[in-house]
Amino acid sequence: MLGEKYFKLDMSYWGRSQRLVIQILCIWALAAYGLPALVLETNKMRIMGFPLGYYNCAQVLPMFFGFLLLVFNGVQEGIEADQTDGKPAVEAGSSSALNAMLAKVYVAYTGGFIFFVLFLGFLEAVGVPDQAIGILFVIFTLGMYAAIGIASRTSKSDDFYVAGRNVPPIFNGMATAADWMSGASFVGMAGALYALGYDGLAYIIGWTGGYVLVSTVIAPYLRRFGSFTVPEFIASRYQGTMQLPGGKVVELSGVSRFLATIVLLSCSFTYLTAQVYSTGVIVSRFIGIQFEVAVFSGLIGVLFCSLLGGMRAVTYTQVAQYVILIIAYTVPAICMSTTQDDGFNKNNPVQFLAYGGTLQQITLREKELVLLGLASEVTPYLEPKWRRVDFFALSFCLMVGTASLPHVLMRYFTTPSVRSARRSVTWSLGFILVLYMTAPAYAAFAKLEVYTNVIGTPLSVLPQWIFTYGKIGLTTVCGKAVTSVNEAVEACAQATGDDYLLKLKDLKISKDAMVIATPEIAGLPYTIAGLVSAGGLAASLSTADGLLLAISNALSHDIYFRLIDNKASIQKRLMISRVLLVVIALISAGTAASRPADILSMVAWAFSLAASGNFPALCLGIWWRRANAQGAIAGQICGWGLTLAYLLGTRYGG
C-alpha cells in the first residue's frame, strides 16, 4: 500500500477497506466464472424464452456487476465517514450550480438532436436522396463537436490535462462511457456476437466485469494521489537508485516512468488505430468516398477538440457524443424488438427482454438450413464452441486490461474527489450497460433476419445492402465482394440468378459491418441507418480523442517535461502536446488506411498489452507496501515484452 505518506489515513481505514475489497472481489469472481461454467446445464432451463445460461451471461452478470459497485460505494463511503467523525467529505471544485447548468445544456442538446433526426426523417419521406441524409448526419454531428471544442478551449495546464479536476460524477461517467464505447464496442461488439454466438459473451463479461476492478482496486487511489498521467503515478510510487557496473547511478523512477510510457504508447496506439479504422468504414459508407480518404477526413473531427481544449474540451464533447451514440444504438434495436411476435414477446419495446423467442427461432432455423441443403453443418449459436479455459482466460484478460487502460484511468483524474471518482466508475458502468445489454439483441435480430430472408433466396433477388457493403469490401458472395446481381451470378459460377439459392457458406459479412448494416438488413428507413452512422462516428471519435490525449500528454509531460526539460514553461509544454497530437493522428491514420486486422482483434491487443504492462505495477503499488522499483521494472519488461512477442509471433510469425 502507499500508506499514510500518500493517503493520510490511519491503518484501521486500510484494514477495513482491504477486507471490503477482498469480499467484493470474491463475490465478483464467483459470479463472473461460476455462471459461465454452468452454461451447458443452465441452458436447458428457459426464462421468457431465453436459455437461462445464455441469459445469465448476456444480461444478468453485467447488471450484477453494476449492483456490486453500488454496494461497494455505500459501504466504502461509510468507512470514510467514520474517519471524519461522520462528517461528509467536502467536494472541492464541484457545485450544484455546475451540475444544474450542465444538465440544462445537455437536455437542450438532446432535444435538438432528436428534432434533427425527425426532420431528416421528414426529408426522407419527401424524397431527399439517401446519400444527402447521410452527409447531413455527418456534418451536423461534426459541427456540434467543433462548437463544443471552441467553447471549451483553454490555455491552462490543469484544464488541458485533467479538465480542472471539477467534472461532476454523472457527467464524468457519461464521458467515460463514450471514451470507453469505442468503434470496437459500437461497430464490432454486435458483429462479434453475430459471428461467435455464445462465445462472444466473453467480451461483454470481461469489459463490464473490469469496472469492478477499476472501482475497487485502482481508480479512487489514483485520484487521491493527484497525478496527471498513469506513468507519473508509477514514477512517483517507485522511487530509488541503482548503481551500474561502470559506477553510474540510475534513477529508477525515470526508468519506470519511461517503461510505463512505452506501455501506454503501445496499447493506446493500437486502440487508436482501431478507432480511426472504424471512422473510415462509417464515413466511406455514408458519404460515399474512398476508404483511405475517409480515414484522413475523420481526423478533422478528432483533432479539433483535442487541439483547442485538451481534456476539458474532450470531456464535454464526449458527453455530447454519448447522447448521440446511445440513441443511435438503441433506437434500431427498439424498432426491431417492437416487430417481434414470437410467442413470448409481442411488440415489446424493451429490447434486452424481447429476443428470447428470436433465439429459439435461430436454433430451429439452424436445423432447417441443414435439412434443406443450404448448409452442410451449422455451428449452434447458443452453445459454447471454445474450451472453457479459453473463454475464462479471454474474459479475465479483458477485465484486467480494462483496469489498466491509461485513457480510461485518466478520466478519473478529472473528478473533484476520491468519492467522486468512485461514483464516476459506477455511473460509467451504468451508461455502458445500456449498450452492452442491447448488443446481444442486436446480433440475434440480425442473425434471424439473415437466416430467414437472405439464406435460401435466389441470387436474382438478393437484397441491395449486400451490394452496397460489397463496394467497401464488408460483404462477399461466393468469395468475392460483389456490387450487382450479375457479379454475384458470376462469382457463384451460375448461368442465371434464378437457378441458384444462396447457401450459408456463400455469404460472408464482416463483423465490423454488422451494426451499421443491420437497419438496412431489417428494412428500416434510411434515416435510422444514418442515425447509426452518426452514433458509430461519435463512438469512434470520442475514444480517439481520449487516446490521442493520453499519448500526447504522456510524451509531453512524462517524457519531455519530466525527463528532458523540466524547466519548460506551461505554454511550451502545451504547444509540444498539440504538435504531438497532430503527428500521432497522422501516423495512426496512415496505419488504419492499410486496413489491418479487424477492429475487435486490434482492441484485444490493446487490452493484453495494458494488462501485462500496467496492472501489476498499479495494483501492487497501491496495495502492497513492499512493492519496489526493481520488481516493478522487471514486471513491466517481462510482462509487456512476453505479451508483445506472443502477439507478434502468432499474428505474423506463423
Q: What is the pLDDT of residues 321-334, one digit of tens each?
A: 899 999 988 988 88
**Residue 69 in contact with residue 426, Cβ under 8 Å?**
yes
Q: What is the mean pLDDT of residues 353-365?
A: 88
Q: For residue 346, list its beta bridge partners.
A: 341
C-alpha cell of residue 153: 478551449
Annotate 108-153 with DSSP letters as a single string. HHHHHHHHHHHHHHHHHHTT--HHHHHHHHHHHHHHHHHHHHHHT-
**Residue 198 in contact with residue 38, Cβ under 8 Å?**
no
- pTM value > 0.75: yes
Q: Which CATH architecture has domain 11-84+96-240+254-437+526-653?
A: Up-down Bundle (1.20)
Output the pLDDT for position 509.
87
User: H/E/C letters for each residue in 216-250?
Assistant: HHHHHHHHHHCCCCHHHHHHHHCCCEEECCCCCEE
Phi/psi at 482 (nearest 5 deg)?
A: -105, 150
Q: What is the mean pLDDT of residues 208-218?
A: 94
* Spatial separation of the C-alpha atoms in residues 192 and 177, rounded to whole Å: 20
> Is the pLDDT at 93 greater than 50, yes or no?
no
**Residue 491 in contact with residue 462, Cβ under 8 Å?**
no
Which CA distances in Å does 158 have to 228, 311, 323?
9, 9, 26
Output the pLDDT for position 300.
74
Q: What percent of the chain has pLDDT over 90?
A: 33
Categorize the per-residue pLDDT at 1 as very low, low, confident or very high, splitting at 50, 70 and 90: very low
C-alpha cell of residue 615: 496492472
Tens digits of residue pLDDT in 543-601: 888 888 888 888 887 888 888 888 888 788 888 888 888 888 888 888 888 776 555 56
Nearest to 198 by CA among 81, 51, 331: 51
DSSP character at residue 459:
G
**Residue 621 in contact with residue 244, Cβ under 8 Å?**
no
In the chain, what are the domain boundaries? 11-84+96-240+254-437+526-653
User: H/E/C letters for each residue in 522-565?
Assistant: CCCCHHHHHHHHHHHHHHHHHHHHHHHHHHHHHHHHHHHHHHHC
**Residue 411 in contact with residue 621, Cβ under 8 Å?**
no
Categorize the per-residue pLDDT at 615 as very low, low, confident or very high, splitting at 50, 70 and 90: very high
> Is the pLDDT at 305 greater than 70, yes or no?
no
